[in-house]
Structure 1
Amino acid sequence: MKKHIVVLTGAGMSAESGVKTFRDHDGLWEGHDVMKVASPEGFRQNPELVLDFYNQRRRQLKEVKPNQAHKDLAALEHDFKVTIVTQNVDDLHERAGSSDVVHLHGELLKIRSIGNPQDIKFWTEDINLGDVCDKGYQLRPHIVWFGEDVPEIETAVKICYAADILIIIGTSMQVYPAASLINYVQPDTEIYYIDPKPAIENNSNIKVIAKTATEGMKELLTLLK
């Protein structure tokens, strides 16, 4: 039976593809109060601003491509069972060839009805005020905003519990509940942490690779052979 690798990825995973990260000084939210573009309250107060913000993100997604780290993770499926649990809302893991991806914070290329959170559809174009579902409710990005529940977190906990190897890439491990997932792996699980500015130190359980996603994955591939 193949070993099960679980990969937790954050914004640093997609940064080398040209997707700007939230916490960098030039992050997406610069010029915007984060609560005005990424919260239910912000959407109620100015839905047009919020829709335009995510429309821009969706357009940008069409201009970027998976980087080598995305491709290397997909290639691991030849030798391992691989599940990716990502905080990212882009589709770069899927486009690189990964077949099992859980999006904790939603997906840019999906929409949902504000009147029925289960009414979710694939969507590649802009969402405008006045775009409604079959029952007449406004459509919104299928994104988990600040203050909202993270529906996939229980699924992610179960996935981490079953991991033989845990790889963490490009996340500060500061955003909860995602940051808590490292606590749900078994005590003997191998853990690798790839980040140019690691928030975790090397210890007996964790191997830290202080590199970017692409360079870190290159090193990790040699360790997993």
Structure 2
Amino acid sequence: MFETIKDQIGDVKKIIFVTGAGISQESGIPTFRGKDGLWRNYDAMKLATIDAFYENPKLVWEWYNERRKNVFAAHPNQGHKAIAELEKYAKVMVLTQNIDGLHQKAGSTEVLELHGSIIKIKCSVCDFRDEILTEFSEIPPLCNCGNMLRPDVVWFGEPLPQNVWQKAIVSASECDLMVIVGTSLVVSPANTLPIYAKQNNALLIEINPERTEMSSDMDLTIRSTSALALPKFISVLKEN
């Protein structure tokens, strides 16, 4: 599937992966818009807002606790592992919209979490931040300052962490190859990253079972899952 651009792939020095919910779905983590579990009677899109949190913090925390259980039980799949292994052959950075930490579990060392992390918490008022690997005995949990703690994730209507986003822009602007995996490229501003790469004349490869809004802009589109396609990508790099 990579034969048509085999020579071009062999020349790349810096590879950027932009990953979305599709790669994690292969590890058993439902996509964000899934309707299973605790929130089946709620609109997940509406729960992931600061307004929903202040209106019903207990419900939002119950939803995130359910999601956290699913994340902690999940394991990196062959797609995650292939990306980590690529570090042996090229400079690799992962720009992920996922909040599950599976890239790090697989061994990737350069990961920018654009939308935060589900295993991290922060105070809704002060600057307190921490990691939490267990459930809270009472929800919503409170910070030492007396205000509510919240998941350290980016909700709809909130800006991305600017230090992370600026690093992502620089990395995308300097890469030779960008591989877009398991994302529909509809969420802004992450969907602008391929534009930055293209301005550097980088090669764009999309790996997704479904067509996306930017499929026509890709140099190569592979209608497959990351777990199937990415190990073959490694094989091509090894041959070069």
- Report the TM-score, using the length of structure 1 for normalisation: 0.91
In structure 1, distance between residues paired with 2:189 and 2:169: 10
Comparing 163-172 with 29-38, which one deviates more in the overlay?
Answer: 29-38
Comparing 19-28 with 60-69, which one deviates more in the overlay?
Answer: 19-28
3-state secondary structure, aligned to 1:62: helix
Q: Is 1:120 the counterpart of 2:132 in the alignment? A: no
Is this contact kept in 1: 2:33–2:45, CA < 8 A?
no
Counterpart residue number, 1:210: 223
Offset of 1:24 from its aligned partner? 5.3
- The structure 2 residue matched to 1:106, chosen from 107, 112, 116, is 116
Q: Is 1:132 the counterpart of 2:142 in the alignment? A: yes
Unpaired segments ≥5 residues, structure 2: 1-11
Counterpart residue number, 1:16: 26
3-state secondary structure, aligned to 2:73: coil
Letter in 1 for 2:14: H
Q: From the two aligned structures, give the one with the greater helix fraction.
A: 2
- Give the 5 Å matches for 1:1-150: 3-23=13-33, 30-116=40-126, 118-127=127-136, 128-129=138-139, 131-150=141-160
Comparing 71-80 with 14-23, which one deviates more in the overlay?
Answer: 14-23
Letter in 2 for 1:89: I
Report how many aligned residue pairs link the two structures.
Answer: 222
Are residues 24 and 197 of structure 1, via their aligned partners in 2, closer, same or farther at CA, if it must alter by over 3 Å? farther
Is this contact kept in 2: 1:133–1:139, CA < 8 A?
yes
Counterpart residue number, 2:215: 201
Is this contact kept in 1: 2:17–2:179, CA < 8 A?
yes
Letter in 1 for 2:132: W
Letter in 1 for 2:204: I
Counterpart residue number, 2:8: none
- The structure 2 residue matched to 1:167, chosen from 176, 179, 190, is 179
3-state secondary structure, aligned to 1:221: helix
Counterpart residue number, 1:192: 205
1:43-93 Cα shifts (integer Å, max 9, x gaps): 011000000000011111121100011000000000111110000000110
3-state secondary structure, aligned to 1:192: strand
Offset of 1:160 from its aligned partner? 0.4
In structure 2, distance between residues paired with 1:211 and 1:192: 12
Are residues 167 and 35 of structure 1, via their aligned partners in 2, closer, same or farther at CA, if it must alter by over 3 Å? closer
Comparing 65-74 with 189-198, which one deviates more in the overlay?
Answer: 189-198
1:76-128 Cα shifts (integer Å, max 9, x gaps): 00011111000000011000000011111110110000012x42211112244
3-state secondary structure, aligned to 1:61: helix
Offset of 1:213 from its aligned partner? 1.1
In structure 1, distance between residues paired with 2:236 and 2:115: 30
Offset of 1:220 from its aligned partner? 2.4
Unpaired segments ≥5 residues, structure 1: none
3-state secondary structure, aligned to 2:60: helix
In structure 2, distance between residues paired with 1:195 and 1:35: 22
Are residues 194 and 35 of structure 1, via their aligned partners in 2, closer, same or farther at CA, if it must alter by over 3 Å? closer
In structure 2, distance between residues paired with 1:27 and 1:83: 33
Offset of 1:4 from its aligned partner? 1.3
Comparing 149-158 with 171-180, which one deviates more in the overlay?
Answer: 149-158
3-state secondary structure, aligned to 1:13: helix
3-state secondary structure, aligned to 1:217: helix
Offset of 1:164 from its aligned partner? 1.4
Offset of 1:218 from its aligned partner? 2.7
